[in-house]
Chain A
Amino acid sequence: MRRLSTAYAPVAAVIVAVIAVLVWFLPSYYTGLLTLVGIYALVTVGLNLFMGYAGQVSLGQAAFVGIGAYTSAVLSVKLHITPWLGAIAGALAAALVAFALSFIVLRLRENLLALATLALGIVINVVFNEWDFIGGSSGFKGIPGFAIGSFVFDQRAYAILAWVLVGIGIWFAGNLVQSTYGRALIAVSAGELGAQALGVNSEGLRRQAFVLSAVYAGIAGAVYASSFTYIDPTSFGFLLSVNFVLMSVIGGLRSLWGAVIGAAIVVALGQILQTVIPLVLPGARGDFQSFFLGVILVVMLILMPRGLTSRFANGGRA
């Protein structure tokens, strides 16, 4: 079983293949859900690299998803570039923003870093809301979909695309974590001063992890934008950032498959609750599933208090 969990590329390929077959049998509603899980999983894989492996915190990851989404959307509509390029542009934009912000934000640690990323996420969201060029609070619509030749992507194609990207994302991240690079990330999270004393450029590594997580989020955002053809600032707010943290924690912070599992669980749970609760408690609105998600987050954190930022590190020194 242990072997299987580290054989990232083959397992990812199998998953993509399974999904490629599955979409032909699923009703389109579930295909849409599958796409969403894929998009979220992609973000969470990047987030796990930053939080689980590099030992940092981000409460604002949704902002990078939004940057990717808006960049791709706006460029495709206003400059008529294909969303394929839009996705790359989205990833680039998210990366640049993350890179620039890292100089202010990554000087902080733990609590302060959490709060700073929270603040960042909200400020960026406000920018989305106030910038009329990208639609402001009314959002941005008419986003062109992905296409290969004359085949415009339908729901099934997006599901496959999302999971192909997840597969690629896991392949890349898997290579990273299994290489000395990944070991260096863990060392930085476990004992930063000790790592620095050995010459490790911990600041550079943390910056790279941050930017990388933004790239994952940016690409996910671009796919999101094209598959929904309409985006608005409310899609990329604080609550989504909290959801990503939830996915990370549930699946396991220092785990790439955990990112996928966490995303799947959170989305599935949401769906289950949405259907089940009105049956059990008539008159209740389905969207108070966040109560259960919040409870789950609390319970998980209580049961694994040392797991959150991989604080296996010796306390207090570095």
Chain B
Amino acid sequence: MTAIAEPVTLTVSAVSMRFGGVQALDDVSFSARGGEVLGVMGPNGAGKTTLFNIISGVQRPTAGTVQLDEVRLTGRPVNRVAALGVTRTFQTPVMFWGLNVRESVCIALTACEFGGSYPPRADRALLPSGLGMPARRRADTALRARADALLERAGLTHMGDRPTESLAFGEERLLELTRALAVDPRVLLLDEPLSGLNPDEVGEVLRLIRGARAGGIAVLLVEHAVGELLSVADRVVVLDYGRTIAEGAPADVAANPAVIDAYIGDELE
């Protein structure tokens, strides 16, 4: 991971989301800085995925804003938000069936202007690609090489040619994470990246998360495996019924009676 020169700050301000008579989020505010892992906790239905949807641009909040430093993110389409440096993974990994593993990573590499050193975006390359221009072909070859390097770093060496349809679940998660990191994001939203993984794979993902943090990325982590979340997070924010009920260091949050209340029946370590 190339270290980012200046870590950025993601600021969520007074975000509310109401649809169908349900208040999914209510006046949520917090911020996350590059170089830290912010855990986002809360029982089911607390609004965590909605929050991610709003930050990444999938949904528009009914009120409030999300900013990356001074740049407003709310209201922009998903791909523009991603191009500005905010990317995410999904609860169920999105696989591009029809592509192999290497090509999946290449998608990430061609999409973002952010990072600067990559060739022009795919959607600006219609004519050069169609005409088979040598410069474009060289760029595509370089992309494939870079994708292989990234796969190696993620522990997916030699998997480049595997069709994505043939991947095991753990491999899918790793691939999705590798893709997300490939765009050189400044903010990484991870939606339950550990669920369904065996201990080795969990370790792998945690290693990548720590690497992202070391590279100056702001990592927002939603995770039901509370133990792992508390072990890797620098700070935690807790949601319940769409409101923040706690924010702070993992140990403090874990001991917070309101938090324990919200999780009745769950074990906190």
Contact = CB atoms under 8 A, between A and B. Distances in A.
B140 A196 contact: no
A32 interface: no
Contact of A187 (B58, B99, B137, B183): B99
Interface size class on chain A is 35 or more
B42 to A, nearest CB: 21
Interface string A188-206: 0111011111111111110
A184 B130 contact: no
B92 A317 contact: yes
A197 B82 contact: yes
Contacts of A314: 92, 94-95, 97
Contact of B129 (A182, A197, A202): A182
A63 B59 CA distance: 36
Contact of A196 (B77, B97, B98, B143): B77
B16 interface: no
A197 B88 contact: yes
A180 interface: yes
Given A203-B77, A314-B92, A318-B94, A197 B126 contact: no
Chain A facing B: main interface SS = helix
B107 interface: yes
Nearest to A172: B130
A267 B87 CA distance: 48
A289 B114 CA distance: 55
B140 A179 contact: yes
Interface of B: 56, 58, 77-79, 82-83, 87-90, 92, 94-99, 103-104, 106-108, 110-114, 121-123, 125-126, 129-132, 136-137, 140, 143, 165, 176, 179-180, 182-183
The 5 closest A-B pairs by CB, nearest first: A194-B94, A312-B97, A199-B111, A184-B122, A199-B82
Given A200-B79, A205-B122, A212-B126, 16 more contacts: A180-B107, A180-B129, A181-B122, A181-B129, A181-B130, A184-B122, A197-B79, A197-B88, A199-B79, A199-B112, A200-B107, A200-B122, A313-B96, A314-B92, A317-B90, A317-B94
